[in-house]
C-alpha cells in the first residue's frame, strides 16, 4: 500500500485503524505498531511516510477520553478527528458528535459521505460544515462508473474538501491513489480552481492541526 501511495505521488498517508466496537484496536498499542510499520516501509526502500491517525465511529465517541482522541487525531496533530457516521442516512447524532468534538477542543473530518445517500445529504453536510467540520470523500468512487455521477453532484454542491483512499489492502478493493479522482474534480467548476487546496493545502493543515476555512 505504501508503494501504491508513492507511485501516486502521495508523500505521507495517515493510518486510520477503525476505532469502534467491532474492531479490537487498542489505542495504547498504536505508537509502537506505527513505528514498526514505518521501519518496515523504510527497510523496503519506500519513501512514503505513515502518520498517526484513526477513524473514530460516532458510536464510540462517548467512550473515549481526550487523551485517547488526541492519540488517534490525524497526523498526530492532536486536533482533527476522522469521524465515521453511523450506518444509514446522516442524522442528528452526527451533528451532536461534531458539536461534542468542538467542545472538547477537536475538529471533525467527516468520512465517506457517499455511504449515506439520502435526499437531505447535501443539506446536512452544509450544516456540519457551518458547524466547523470538513468532509472527506473516497477517491475511487469518482472514477467508478456506477458512482461517479453521485460523487460529482456532491462536488458540485461544494461539500467535499479532501480526498481519501479508504484503502484496506494492496491486493483487492480500492487502491491507495488520489490522482485520478483529482483529474475528475478538474471538471467541476466550484472545485477546479482549488485543486491545490484540496490535494495539498488542506491535508497538510489537517496533519499539522491547523484551522481551515474552505475557499469554496
Distance CA 183, CA 185 (A): 5
Q: Is residue 66 part of a domain?
A: yes
Domain span including residue 196: 55-207
CB 2 within 8 A of CB 51: no
In a domain, 202, yes or no: yes
Residue 2 inside a domain? The answer is: no
- Given a contact cutoff of 8 angstroms between Cβ atoms, the answer to whether 1 and 169 are in contact is yes
What is the per-residue pLDDT for 207? 97
- Closest by CA to 162, choosing from 202, 123, 126, is 202
Name residue, grid cell 474492531.
23
Task: Provide block-wise average pLDDT over 10 residues at a time, the chain (216 residues).
Answer: 96 96 95 97 96 98 97 96 97 98 98 95 98 97 94 96 95 94 94 97 97 94
Q: Can you give the CATH number for the domain in which 158 is found? A: 3.20.20.140
Please give the pLDDT value at position 193.
Answer: 96
Residues 6+ positions from 159 with CB-CB distance below 8 Å:
113, 122, 125, 126, 129, 135
Asked if the structure places residue 20 within a domain, the reply is no
- Residue 32 falls inside a structural domain: no
Contact between 174 and 166 under an 8 Å Cβ cutoff? The reply is: yes
| C-alpha cell read off for 172 | 483487492
Give the predicted TM-score (pTM) of the model.
0.96
- Provide the pLDDT for residue 79: 97
User: Quick check: is 21 in a domain?
Assistant: no
Assigned domain for 153 exists: yes
Q: Cβ–Cβ contacts within 10 Å for residue 86, how many?
A: 15
pLDDT of residue 23: 94
Domain total of the chain: 1
- Would residue 49 count as lying in a domain? no
Please report the pLDDT score of residue 44 as a whole number.
Answer: 96
Amino acid at each position: 500500500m505504501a508503494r501504491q501511495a508513492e507511485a501516486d505521488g502521495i508523500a505521507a498517508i495517515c493510518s486510520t485503524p477503525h476505532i469502534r466496537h467491532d474492531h479490537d484496536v487498542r489505542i495504547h498499542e498504536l505508537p509502537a505498531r506505527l513505528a514498526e510499520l514505518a521501519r518496515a516501509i523504510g527497510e523496503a526502500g519506500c519513501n512514503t511516510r505513515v502518520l498517526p491517525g484513526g477513524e473514530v465511529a460516532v458510536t464510540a465517541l462517548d467512550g473515549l477520553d481526550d487523551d485517547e482522541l488526541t492519540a488517534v487525531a490525524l497526523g498526530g496533530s492532536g486536533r482533527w478527528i476522522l469521524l465515521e457516521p453511523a450506518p444509514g442516512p446522516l442524522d442528528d447524532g452526527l451533528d451532536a458528535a461534531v458539536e461534542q468534538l468542538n467542545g472538547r477542543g477537536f475538529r471533525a473530518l467527516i468520512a465517506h459521505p457517499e455511504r449515506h445517500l439520502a435526499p437531505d445529504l447535501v443539506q446536512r453536510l452544509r450544516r456540519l460544515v457551518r458547524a466547523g467540520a470538513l468532509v472527506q470523500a473516497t477517491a475511487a468512487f469518482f472514477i467508478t462508473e456506477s458512482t461517479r455521477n453521485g460523487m460529482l453532484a456532491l462536488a458540485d454542491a461544494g461539500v467535499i474538501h479532501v480526498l481519501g483512499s479508504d484503502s484496506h489492502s494492496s491486493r483487492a478493493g480500492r487502491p491507495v491513489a488520489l490522482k485520478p479522482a483529482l483529474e475528475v474534480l478538474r471538471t467541476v467548476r466550484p472545485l477546479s480552481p482549488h485543486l491545490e487546496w484540496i490535494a495539498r493545502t488542506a491535508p497538510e493543515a489537517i496533519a499539522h492541526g491547523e484551522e481551515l476555512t474552505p475557499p469554496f
